[in-house]
Amino acid sequence: MRKIQLFDVFFALFVGSALMAEKSEIKIAKQYGLAYLPLMVAEEHKLIEKHAKSLGLDVEVSWITISGGATANDALLSGSVDLVSAGVAPLIRLWDKTKGRVKILTSLNGMPQILNSSDKKIKTLRDFTENNKIAVPSLKVSIQSLLLQMAVAKEYGIENYDKLDHLTVVLKHSDALVALTSGKSEIIAHFTQEPFAALELQHPNIHEVLNSYDILGGEHTSVVFFTSEDFYKNNPKLASAIIAAVDEAIKQINADKSAAAKLYLKVSKSNEPLELIEKIIKNPDVVYALKPTPNITLFSDFLFETGAIKTKPLSWKELTFDKIH
């Protein structure tokens, strides 16, 4: 009888330790553009593996590249990836949908989101007509779609926040760039981020209509790196390693922005001019930082006021895991 009891104890300990073991393989989804540069640096230099090793973990990291906040949210909810990166707006919607069980692990970047147009008649939002089309990476969910609504609310009143929604069409930033600059598409405007905005503005017939820093009254976090509460709680060392890896990547970018520009072109296999990428990264309005700016609650306040989310976070800390507080 005693042998059976001892076996039960040892078996329970074995199962318990197995359940407590942290993941040895993780999948991460990143997106296109300079906002995701910290993840590109982390992938290229295997920084997650490095910091995991320092904590006694061996982990294999798989990276995939997707497009759009809606796709990012779906990938995380389906369990096909462990962590995703996207704009603040998709994260807030998912935080609300999961009742706070998805949160920000780290910030990645703050940069102005820019609405460009190829129609010289369009100087303000009031100049858009029924025949005009505005490209965004995903309808309603993306940070660009939300910013368009926020800008419209300022112009026409909160009750008319979705007045221009019917003009929006879904296109990846790279495809929208081609459509806008070709002059042969119904797309006459594109709400985008870098480097796509700068590439568009190189064309003499394209101009900026507005940007998100004007809408929000200053700098704001644009893109964040987020995961589920289950992953965070079940993998505490790995979560710490990932945060340390992103932190090191950001420090590398800020220490040598010319090198970061070269790495971006190499990893993204892009053919943009190096000088242009360097100029964007060195722009003081483009900020790579580990912590989100407190004013990200301006996005959640608007989403709550328009009924898009049911719960209103009172602080940026409610949207983040505590390791970066």
* Helices 47-54, 236-255: crossing angle, 10 deg rounding: 130
* Domain locations in the chain as residue ranges: 2-110+221-324, 114-216
| Fold agreement between 2-110+221-324 and 114-216 | yes
Cα separation, 241 vs 238, whole angstroms: 5
For residue 117, list its beta bridge partners. 189, 207
pLDDT along the chain (325 residues), means of 10: 48 44 95 96 98 97 92 94 96 97 98 97 96 94 96 98 97 95 92 97 97 96 97 98 98 98 94 96 97 97 98 97 92
Residue 4's pLDDT is 47
Pairing of strands 187-192, 114-117: antiparallel
Tell me which amino acid residue 66 is.
I
| CATH architecture designation of domain 2-110+221-324 | 3-Layer(aba) Sandwich (3.40)
Q: What is the DSSP string of 192-226?
A: E-TTHHHHHHTSTT-EEEEEHHHHHTS----EEEE
Write down the CATH number for the domain with range 114-216: 3.40.190.10
Residue 21's pLDDT is 84
What is the model's pTM?
A: 0.90
Residue 286's pLDDT is 97
Cα separation, 228 vs 46, whole angstroms: 22
Pairing of strands 223-228, 102-109: antiparallel
Q: How far is CA 194 from CA 62, 102, 183, 304, in A?
A: 25, 26, 21, 28
